[in-house]
Each structure stands twice: as C-alpha cells, then as structure tokens.
Amino acid sequence: MIAVFAIDALEYELVEEFKCENLRQKFRGKTDISEFSQPRTMVLWSSFITGKNKEKEVLAGGNKEMWDKKWPIGETFFSRFKNPVVIDLPGYSYDTKVHAESRRLLKEFFEARPEEEKEKIRSPYNRDAFEHHRKIKEEFFRALGQDHDFVLGYFSVADVVGHLNFGNKAMMRMIYKELDEIAAEIKGKCEKLLILSDHGMQAVGQFGDHSNYGFWSANFEVSFKNPKITEIGRLLK
C-alpha cells in the first residue's frame, strides 16, 4: 500500500525547529510552487492530483465555485490504482460544508469590532478545526487497516488553526506533535509513505499566512529534491 499523508500548510522550517522526526523521514525537501501566482490550497491540490498546473481553471470559477471544484478520477493519478481511497481532499473529496464554515468563522473574526468580539470567535473556530481533525484521523486509520492499494488523508488543522494562531508557538508545537505522532502510526501500516503539503506558513504578527514553498518527505528513494507539485503524483507506484 502507498499512503499519502496530505497536510495543509505544514511548514518545512517548523518541522525542523520542532524536530518532528516522523514527519521528516529519510528523504525530504521543499516543493517548488513558484509557477503559481499565489500559494492557494485548491489550486495546489488540484495541480498535484492531475499533474497539471490548474491555476487558470480553478480561478476561472470565481471564489465561491473554486471551493466546490471536483476533478473526475480519470483526470487524476488515482485512476492508476485498483482500489484507492482519498479522504477529504480539496479538488476531489473535500467536505465543502465543514470547510466553508471554518472560512466563514475566519472572515467573521477579521471583521469583528471591537477587538473583544474577536476573542469570542477564536475558540469555536479552533474547536471546529480540532473536531474535524479527529473525524478525519479516524477515517484515515480505518482506511489504512483495509485492503486498499492507495490511501490519502487530507488534514487541514495546521492551516486552519495556523491562520489565527501561528504566533502562538505552544499551540503550533502541540499541533506539529500531533501530526508527527500520526506519521509515526502510519509507518507500520503501509510500504510507501509520502507526506506532502501544498504550501507552508509564515508569521504575520500573531497570525499566519501561506509561504511560497511546500513540504515533502518520503520513506522511499526519489529522484528529486525540490520537485514541482505537478511532478510528484506520477512517481507514486
């Protein structure tokens, strides 16, 4: 079985700083996403699964339609597998309702006045992200225990919580520890493990914004160091 631990906004430099040994794996590096005008989640995952730069097509639908975008399996590298399962991935099997709610709360946070009102939004926003994380984690490990030749699970907690709390080192350390523990647990359950992020994150005061490269690591030897995100899928077999 090939497993892909897909993590939104996993920051290469924080993986190093927090010494997340299981996320780091033997082979690792940053991805090159410089061909894209901005590091956008939906654009990057769409480009990863189709092996093509999908920026124009994804943005053509406008902001609302962008998040509903779903590529047919025939246009993705998943079609090479007999019995693939892909959990909650943007552009493919994304739970649009859950993620729309977290984007709504984020917007509400930034628009809230006075400042005290913001703090009332922070905890439901974080709680929502952790609850969804637990649900996806359960589904992912269930799939890893079944008879699939390919399992991908997409985890958004580092991005969602990071946007409001990236300056909170203790909270980010806790999230990276959780992700590192998941990576450790996956390892015994598959032959090949790829860990991939769409982009990383950089601090903007107490908040976080997307950084201009992604993260990858593998427990098997690959021929690249700083691959384009469109080059990675075809190597998985």
Could you list the residues that contact Zn ion (CB under 5 A)?
159
Q: Of 52 and 103, which has the nearer Cβ to Zn ion?
A: 103
Q: How far apart are CA 162 and CA 175, in angstroms?
A: 9
Q: Tokens for 214?
A: 């992604």
Q: Are strands 201-204 and 192-197 parallel, antiparallel or unpaired?
A: unpaired
On the 0-12 / 13-18 / 19+ scale of CB atoms within 10 A, 218 is: buried
Least distance between Zn ion and beta carbon 206 (Å): 16
Least distance between Zn ion and beta carbon 15 (Å): 17
Least distance between Zn ion and beta carbon 147 (Å): 34
Least distance between Zn ion and beta carbon 93 (Å): 18
Q: Of 55 and 159, which has the nearer Cβ to Zn ion?
A: 159
Q: Of 88 and 159, which has the nearer Cβ to Zn ion?
A: 159
Could you say which DSSP state residue 203 is in?
E
Least distance between Zn ion and beta carbon 111 (Å): 18
Q: Of 178 and 209, which has the nearer Cβ to Zn ion?
A: 209
Task: Give residue number: closest CB to Zn ion.
Answer: 159
For 229, the enclosing helix (H) or strand (E) is: helix 229-232
- Per DSSP, the residues of 56-124 read HHHHHTHHHHHTT-B--GGGSGGGGSSSEEEES-TBTT--HHHHHHHHHHHHHHHH-SSHHHHHHHHHH
Distances (CA, A) of 87 to 13, 84, 203, 205: 26, 10, 29, 33
Least distance between Zn ion and beta carbon 106 (Å): 9
Q: Of 180 and 198, which has the nearer Cβ to Zn ion?
A: 198
Q: Of 27 and 207, which has the nearer Cβ to Zn ion?
A: 207
Q: How far apart are CA 121 and CA 147, in angstroms?
A: 41
Least distance between Zn ion and beta carbon 159 (Å): 4
Q: Of 84 and 91, which has the nearer Cβ to Zn ion?
A: 91
Q: Is 227 left (phi over 0), alpha (psi -120 to 50) or beta?
A: beta
Amino acid at position 85, single letter: V
